[in-house]
Amino acid sequence: MSVQRNPFVDLYVTESISADTFVKVFSTALLDEADTLALYQPGNVILIGLQGSGKTALLNLLKPEVLIAYKRANVAWPLPERCARFISAGINLSKSGAMDFGQRPIEPNMASEDRRYALYFADFLNYWIVDDLLQSIETLTSATEEKISEFLGLKVSSEILDSFASDLAKNRCWLGALSAPENYSALREALDKRILEYRNFLNYNTDQLPASLKSTKTSVGEPISVTVELLRKHGILPEDLPVLIRIDQFEDLMGLEEVTDQKLRVEYRAVVYKMLGTRDSRLSYRVGARPYAVQQDFRMLGTSSVIEELRNYTIVDIDRILRRKEHSRGIFPKFVEDVFSKRLIEGGYEPPPNAKSLISYVFGKKPRPEDRARNYAKESVDGVIDREPNWPVDAAKFLNDLARSNPISAKLGEAWLRQKLRNKPTTDFDISKCEWESPKRKWWKKERIEQALLQIAAGRKQRMVWAGDADILSLSGGNILVFLSICQLIWAEHLRSGAVTTSEVPEIHSRILQDLGIQQASEYWYRKLRADPNGGDDRHRFVSVLAGELRVSLRDDKRMSYPGANGFSLSDRVAEKDTEVSLFLDLCTAYGALTVSRHTPKVSSRGQSKKWYLFPILSPYFQLPVAHTKEPVYSNADQIRKWLEKANITLQNINKINQRQKSIEAPVQQMSLPFDGVKKS
C-alpha cells in the first residue's frame, strides 16, 4: 500500500481530533512524572508551558469523552489508581466565546476601567462551567455499555435530577436569575439561554444587554461550588469523587485586557485568580497557561489580596518536566519516541518490528564530527587552518598536512598551538604527538568540537549542517511542537524529492533533506517571535543582535579559550539591581526566545547566577552550536544594555508593559567576555 500523506502535517492534532483518535495518539509518557499527576488529584493547579508543550493534551485527558473512548476501545485507562477517578468540566477560553467580551462595551458610557467588565465576564464563566459540568454528568451516565457510572459512582434518575434542579435554581447564589424550573431539562435550557444572551449581545445581534443580566450578576465561582455541593447532597456525585474544573488558554485573557477601549490591566485574569483564592474544598481548578500570562502578584478581583503558591495553588511546569536534567536525559526522548511512533501508525505506516528507536531508524545517527568537518572542508584545506606568520615552520606544515586527512583534528591542533604560544614566543613541544587527541585531554577536545566545526565551516564559507537523531532532539528544546514541526518539514522534503513511498516506514538518512527541513523549521520559529503583539518585534531584534554577537565571538576566538560562547551568564546580584534588564530577559524566556537555567560559576565572586541561551531551534538560523558544553559568557547589565541599544529596544517602554505583564520567573535550565576580566584557557 502506498502512503503519500505526511504523518506530521497536523501539528496540533491532539487539540482538534475526536476522543477515539485521541486514545490512539496521546502519549502516556508524561504521566510517569509525579508532578504531572497532580493534575488529576484534588487541589488547584496552574499548568504552565510554552506553546506546543502538551498542556492542552494533558487537560483533554480530563474530558469525559476521553474516558469513555478509552473504555470503549478496551485500552487501559493510563492514570494510576490513586488518581484514576474524577469528574471534570471546564472552558476553553479561545473556543467558548469568552473572548467576545473584547468586541463591545457592556453598557453605554461605561468607563473603560469599570470593574463591571470583569464581573460580567465572571458571570459568563459561572454559567458556562455549571452548564458544562451538568453536560459531563449526562455524557458519562449515558455511556451504559462502558459502565462509567459504576466506575465513578454516579447515580442519576429523572426524579433525582429534577429534585436537584429545583434546589439549585432556588439557591441564592443565582441572585434570582433562575426561576424555579419545572424539571432538570428546564434548568439546562435556562443556563443555555443565559449564555446565548451574552453571545448575542457581544456579537451585536441585539441592541441592548438584557436587563436581567445587569441585575443578577453572580459572584466569582460561587454557583460552581454550590452546584457541586448540591450534586453531592442529592447523591448524584459520591462524596469522594474529585470535581476538577478546567480553564484552558488562560493567556488569551491578556489580549482581552489589552483591547483599546478596555484597559483593565489584569482584571480578567484576576477573576480566575479569585476562583483559585477561595480554597474551596468542594472542587479544584486546573488553569492551562503560557508562562508569560501568569502574574507575579496574583491579585484577586476586587481586592489587594493575592493568591499564594502551595496555599491556594501549585504550579506544574511542563517545560521543566520535559527539559533535560543536569545529569540525565530526562523524559523528553521517551516522550517524543512515543509520539513519533503513534503518529506514524496513525498515518498508515507499519513500523519495523525490531527498531529499538524509530527516530533513529528514520533519521539515522548524527554524523561524526570528523565526517561533518570533511563535508565542510570538501577537497581543499584552504580556510581550514588560519596560519600565523610567527608559527614554527614544522608546526604549521604538520597542521596543514593533517587538515587534508582530518580537518577537525587539525583545527583543534591549531587552537592547541595558539594556547601554547600564548605565553611563549617559541614552542618546545612536538606538535606531531597530537596531545589534544590524548585521552587525558578528552574534555578539552569535547568542549571545543562544535566551535571547531563552526570555524571550519566559516573559513570555508560553508553553512553548518544539522542532521541525525541527536540533532533533532537537541534542537527541539524539550518542546513537542518544535519536534513535530521539524519532522513535518523533513518529511515534506522527503516527499518532494520523489521518493517511492509505501506503508513501510522510510529511512530518511539524507543529510541534505534533513538539513533543509531543519533550516526551514528554524526560520519559521524565528519569524514566529515577531508575530506576537506583546513585544515580539523587540525580542525578534534582540535575538538577532545577541546571536550575531555570540557567533562572531565563537568564530574569532582562534585559541578556543571560550567554547561556551553560545550563551551568557548574569549573576543574581546584577539582575536584582537592574530590574529592567532582568524583566526583559524573563519575558524573552517566557515567550520562548531564550532558555534559562541556574548555575554556579567557577568564579566564586559572581555568586549564584543564571545562564541564558537561544531557544535551541533558533540555532540553525543563526549558525550557532546548540550544545552547552562549557561555561557561557560572564556578562553584566551594561553589556546586555548595549545589545538592547543595538537592537533599538527602549527598556522604559518594555518596563511599562511589564507592569501589566510581569511573568513568573521561568524555571531555570558559562566563556567570559573580556569586559569581565576573567581569564580562561
Beta strands 594-599 and 609-614 are antiparallel
- Nearest-angstrom CA–CA distance, 285 and 220: 13
Question: Which triple of cell numbers denotes residue 232?
Answer: 453531592
Instruction: Tell me the C-alpha distance between 675 and 105, whole Å.
Output: 54
The sign one gets for the Cα dihedral 70, 71, 77, 81 is positive
Cβ pair 648, 607 in contact under 8 A = no
Q: Summarize pLDDT for 165-175 with one digit per residue, the tens.
A: 999 999 999 99
Which amino acid makes up residue 345?
Answer: I
The answer to whether the CB of 23 falls within 8 A of the CB of 75 is: yes
Residues 558-617 have pLDDT tens digits of 999 989 999 999 999 999 999 999 999 999 999 999 999 988 888 888 889 999 999 999
CB 29 within 8 A of CB 338: yes
Phi-psi domain of 153 (left: phi exceeds 0; alpha: psi -120 through 50; beta: other): left
User: Does residue 3 register a pLDDT over 60?
Assistant: no
Any idea which residue has 568564530 for its cell?
555
pLDDT band at 105 (very low <50, low <70, confident <90, very high): confident
Residues 241 and 42: their CA atoms lie apart, in Å, by 9
Residue 673 phi/psi, 5° resolution? -85, 160
Residue 411 C-alpha from the chain's centroid:
37
CA dist., res. 92 & res. 94, Å (int): 6
How far is Cα of residue 544 from the mean position of the Cα atoms in its chain?
A: 21
* Local structure of residue 295 (DSSP, 8 states): B
Q: Rounded to whole angstroms, how far apart are CA atoms 587 and 529?
A: 12
- Give the number of other Cβ atoms within 10 Å of residue 544's Cβ: 17
Q: Please, what sign has the CA dihedral across residues 29, 36, 586, 561?
A: negative
How are beta strands 314-317 and 45-48 bridged, if at all? parallel
| 175: Cα separation from own chain's centroid | 41
Ranges of H-type helices in 312-441: 318-322, 332-346, 358-363, 369-377, 393-405, 407-422
Amino acid 459: pLDDT: 92
CA 68 – CA 18 distance, rounded (Å): 12
Give the pLDDT score at 630.
Answer: 84
Q: How many CB atoms lie within 10 A of CB 319?
A: 23
Residue written as grid cell 567554547: 563
* Model pLDDT, residue 439: 93
CA 420/CA 471 separation, integer angstroms? 33
Q: Is 209 left (phi over 0), alpha (psi -120 to 50) or beta?
A: beta
Is residue 234 a contact partner of residue 134, using CB atoms and an 8 Å limit? no
Which cell is 390 given?
610567527
In this prediction the pTM is 0.88
SS3 assignment, position 630: coil
* Extents of the domains making up the chain: 34-322, 369-459, 532-681
- Cα separation, 223 vs 221, in Å, equals 6
Would the pLDDT of 658 be above 90? no
Q: What are 396-439's pLDDT values in tens digits? A: 999 999 999 999 999 999 999 999 888 676 656 788 899 999 99
Q: For residue range 274-319, what is the model confidence (pLDDT) as tens digits?
A: 999 988 899 999 999 999 888 667 888 888 888 988 899 999 999 8
Q: Is 448 helix (H, G, I), strand (E, B) or coil?
A: helix
Burial degree of 93 (CB within 10 A; 0-12, 13-18, 19+)? buried
Residue pLDDT, tens place only, 472-513: 999 999 999 999 999 999 999 999 998 777 889 999 999 999
Q: Are 628 and 608 in contact (CB under 8 A)?
A: no
Give the confidence band of 263 by pLDDT, cuts at 50, 70, 90.
Answer: low
The fraction of the chain above a pLDDT of 90, given in percent, is 66
Spatial distance between the Cα atoms of 77 and 172, rounded to a whole number of angstroms: 39
Rounded percentage of the chain residues whose pLDDT exceeds 70: 90
- Give the residue, 115 or 588, on which the prediction is more confident: 588
CB 372 within 8 Å of CB 449: no
